[in-house]
Amino acid sequence: MMTDPIADMLTRIRNAVQAGHDRVEFPASRMKANVCKVLKDEGYIRSFKIIAKGKADIRIKVLFKEDAIVGLERYSKPGLRQYRSYRAMPKVLSGLGVSVISTSQGVMSTREAKSKKIGGEVICSVW
């Protein structure tokens, strides 16, 4: 049994980037698909696709030009959830990176959450 599936997803992506793989697969969930959508919209991954063979999996094609993903970090953990208002969103590398936020209006990046003036749970940071 896995206690933190989002951290497992981020670890698999981090390991694939460090090993030089162009794709990675992990078990699918709606939250993971929403996080992948934000990473794709922000330009950190090339594409993602939910594939169903037995159990549903998500396949990500990692973007390797100019080292798009340098680091991934889980921010909010199951034992300590981190909620922030739109004014107190964390800055990742002075604005060069992005954080993924789970809000009442869905999962989005910090840039989008600040423009809509809504806060939520900070899931992870990518730079």
Q: Give residue-wise pLDDT tens across range 37-84.
A: 999 999 998 899 998 877 888 898 886 655 778 899 999 999 999 999
pLDDT interval class at 125 (50, 70, 90): very high
Any idea which of 15-29, 77-91, 95-109 has the lowest mean pLDDT? 15-29
Instruction: State the helix-helix crossing angle for 30-41 and 5-19, rounded to 10 degrees.
Output: 40
Residue carrying structure tokens 């950190």: 44
State whether the Cα torsion 95-25-81-38 is positive or negative: positive
Average pLDDT, the chain: 91
Sequence-ordered list of residues with C-beta below 8 angstroms from that of 21, at least 6 positions apart, any chain: 62
Question: Domain 5-126 is of which CATH architecture?
Answer: 2-Layer Sandwich (3.30)
Between CA 38 and CA 65 the distance in angstroms is: 18
pLDDT at 66: 58
